[in-house]
Amino acid sequence: MKQTEAKEKLETLRKQLRRYNYEYHTLDQPSVSDDEYDKKLRELLDIETEFPQLITADSPSQRVGSEPLDAFQKVRHNVPMLSLGNSFDEQELRDFDRRARQGTEEEVSYVCELKIDGLAVSLKYEDGLLVRGATRGDGTTGEDITANLRTIRTIPLRLDAPETIEVRGEAFMPKKSFLSMNKAREEKGEMVFANPRNAAAGSLRQLDPRIAAKRNLDIFLYGVGEWQGEASKSHSERLERMKQLGLKTNPEWKKCKNIDEVIEYVNGWIEHRADLDYEIDGIVIKVDRLDQQKVLGFTAKSPRWATAFKFPAEEAVTKLITIELSVGRTGVVTPTAILEPVQVAGTTVQRASLHNEDLIREKDIRIGDTVIIKKAGDIIPEVVRVLDDQRTGEEEPFSMPETCPECGSKLVRLEEEVALRCINPNCQAQLREALIHFVSRNAMDIEGLGEKVIAQLFQEELIHNISDLYKLDRDELLQLERMGEKSVDNLLKAIEASKENSLEKLLFGLGIRYVGTKAASTLAQEFGVMDKLMEADADRLVQIPEIGEKMADSIARYFDKPQVHELIHALKQEGLNMEYNGPLLNEGPEDSPFNGKTIVLTGKMENYTRSEAKNIVQELGGKVTGSVSKKTDLLIAGEDAGSKLTKAEELGIEVWNEEDFANALED
C-alpha cells in the first residue's frame, strides 16, 4: 500500500471507529458487532504500524495511555471554574427562585441536571480537535491531565464539527468499575478506595496514563467556558448542540417551567438515585436563558443563576450481630459485619465490609455494638462509627483469628501489608476463588462458568482444582440443578475451546501475584513456551523491561513450588496449549541501532511526536519503556527533559538528542 492510499484508508477507518465508539459508549446503541469493531480497529493498527508517520492525535489507537509523565503542568482557566452555592431543602430552593425572579424582573424557567459525584474537568477543542484537558484546581488554575483524559472512551478526540470550544464536565467511575477495582485491590492486600469519587480523582491524577486507561472511567459534559461563535440562547439549547458535536451529556436533564416542577424533579431523584449505575449526590438547577444568566451574574465564589440541591445524608442506626470472615483467591482474609436488617438509600442492608483488622481496631468496633452505617457512594455499606453511649457492657471486642477460617492453616501478615493471608495453596476457598479468576474474560474466557456454577461444582465435589475443570463429565453435569443438555454442551464446548488459548491467557489465569494482563503478555512473548519461563530465576526475569524486582521474585517463587509443577503437568496432560501464539515482537533490520535495545523517550521533539518516535523505534526492533533503570540501553531526550535525563546520566546510560536520533534513522 502506498502512503497516499494508506492516508485515505486511515481517514475512513478513523471516521467509522469514532462513530462506532460514540454509538457504543455514549448512546449505548451499537450499530455493529464487537467483532466488526475489533476487525476495523486491527486494520487501523496494522496500517499505523506500517506508516507511523500517519498517526494522528485523534486516532482511536491513542486511547491506551501514553508514557508516564514527570509531573503535571499548571493550566490557567480563561473563564474561572466556580463552585456552586448549595440548597438543602424545599424552602431554600424557593428562596433561590425568588432571588432569580427579582434579579431578572421576569418569569424564569430552569434546567435540572443530576449532580455527578466525580472530578470536575475542562476540555479544550481547537477546530474540533482535543488539545487540552485540565482539572478544576482552585477554580482559576488547574492541572493538565490531557494524557489521562484521552483514555476515557466517551471523550471524543475530534468533534463532529470544527468548533473551538472549552467545555466543562464531571469525570466519574461507574459503580461496577468501582466494585471490581476495590475487589482486586483487596485481594492484593492494598488499601481500597472509600468511594467512586476518590477512585476517579485518584485515577486521573496518576502520572502514568496507562493506569487511568485501565480504570474504565466515564464522563458527562454539562457546561461551556468559552465557545467561539456560539449561537445558543439558552442552556437547554447548549446541551442539545453539545450532544450534536459528539460530546456526552447526561440524558436525565429536564427543562422545568417553574420552581414547582424543579421540586418535583428533585423529589423523584431522591427516591430513585440508587437505580443509577453511577453515583450522584444532588441536583444542579440552572436558569435556562443565557441572557438572564448574564443579568444575574456572579458572586465572588459562585454564579447567582445556579444552585446545587444536596441530597440528605443516607445513614441509619442498626446493630452489629457478628463478624464473618471470607478468603479471597490470593489468600487475603476479609472481615464483614453482619447487621440487623435496616433500610439505607432505598435498599435493605444486612452486610458491611470492614476491610481489615486495622480499621476495626481504629474505630473500636465490637460485636453487639449499636452502629451508624451509610452507603459509601450509594454502593458499599460502611460502618461510620460506634455509638459508645449505647453500650451495655456485653459487647465483645473482635480480633482476627490466627488460623484460616476455611482450612485452618496459620495466617500471616506480609511485610508492608495491612491484610492477613492464608498461604496454604490447597485452601478450598482460595481454589474456588482462583478458579473464578481462571475462567474470567481476560484469562481463559470460558463462557458459562460463573461464580454460582463454580460454587455448585465445588459443592458437589466435581472439581477440587483447576485441572479438574478439564475432566468434567457430561452425565454428571446433567445431574446438577439448572443444567440442561444445551447449557452443558455449550459449557463443555467452551472449556474445550479454551485449551487453544495463547500462553499469556493461561499465565494471567494462573493468578500469579503482581502479574496482570500486560505482564503476562510480556512474559509470553519473551519466553515463547511455558517450560522456558518456569526455568527462569529472578535474576533472568528482572532483565525483562517492565518486570520489576518485586514481580520477578513473585514469579520465580510461584514456579518454584512443587504443586505448581504438578498443576502445569496436569494441564499439559489435558491438552492445554503452553505456547505463545500471538503477534511476534518486531525485529528490525540487522543494522538497526535499536535492535534488542531497551529505550526511553523523554522531553519534547521538534520534528516527531512522542507517539511517532515510539513507533519508529519499535518498528526498528527496539523496546520502549516509560522509566529509566539499569536495564535501559539508551535515552532519547528532547527539549525540557527532566528527571529521566538526570537519572540516565547518573547511571551512565547513553543519551541521544533529537539530532542524534534523526541521524541514526538517516543512516
For the chain, 667 residues long, the average pLDDT of each consecutive 10-residue run is 88 88 70 75 85 84 62 87 88 95 94 94 95 89 91 93 96 91 78 80 85 90 94 96 95 96 94 86 95 89 91 83 90 92 78 85 93 70 88 92 91 80 83 90 88 88 90 91 88 94 93 86 89 92 82 92 92 94 63 83 82 80 78 85 83 89 82
CA neighbours closer than 13 Å in the CB half-sphere of residue 581: 9
Q: The domain 3-63 is classified under which CATH number: 3.40.50.2300, 3.30.710.10, 1.10.287.610, 1.10.579.10?
A: 1.10.287.610
* Residue linked to cell 440548597: 87
Class for the domain spanning 428-498: mainly alpha
Cα separation, 129 vs 421, in Å, equals 49
Q: What is the pLDDT of residues 491-524, one digit of tens each?
A: 999 999 999 999 999 999 998 988 888 789 889 9
Amino acid making up residue 404: C
In degrees and rounded to multiples of 5, residue 577 shows phi and psi of -65, 135
Task: Say how many C-beta atoms besides its own lie within 10 A of residue 105's C-beta.
Answer: 8
Residue 430: per-residue pLDDT: 87
CA distances from 638 to 233, 416, 466, 600, 659 (A): 46, 38, 50, 11, 9
Q: What is the CATH number of domain 76-310?
A: 3.30.470.30
Cα separation, 213 vs 190, in Å, equals 20
Cα separation, 235 vs 222, in Å, equals 9
| Residues forming CATH 1.10.287.610 domain(s) in the chain | 3-63
DSSP state of 518: H
Q: What is the CATH number of domain 315-397?
A: 2.40.50.140
Q: What is the CATH number of domain 503-573?
A: 1.10.150.20
| Residues forming CATH 3.30.470.30 domain(s) in the chain | 76-310
Cell of 162: 470544527
Residue 647: per-residue pLDDT: 86
Cα separation, 210 vs 63, in Å, equals 9
In degrees and rounded to multiples of 5, residue 277 shows phi and psi of -95, 15
Catalytic residue status for 115: yes
* Residue linked to cell 479471597: 328
Cα separation, 303 vs 307, in Å, equals 8
Q: What is the CATH number of domain 598-666?
A: 3.40.50.10190
Amino acid making up residue 337: A
Cell of 312: 440528605
Residue 291: per-residue pLDDT: 95
Residue 353: per-residue pLDDT: 82
Q: Which residue out of 40, 115, 124, 505 is catalytically annotated?
A: 115
Task: Say how many C-beta atoms besides its own lie within 10 A of residue 50's C-beta.
Answer: 13
Task: Say how many C-beta atoms besides its own lie within 10 A of residue 522's C-beta.
Answer: 21
List CB contacts of 73: < 8 A, sequence separation 6 or more. Answer: 143, 144
| Residues forming CATH 1.10.150.20 domain(s) in the chain | 428-498, 503-573
Residue 418: per-residue pLDDT: 77
* Residue linked to cell 485452601: 427
| Residues forming CATH 3.40.50.10190 domain(s) in the chain | 598-666
CA distances from 229 to 143, 163, 165 (A): 27, 9, 9
Helix, strand, or coil (residue 256): strand
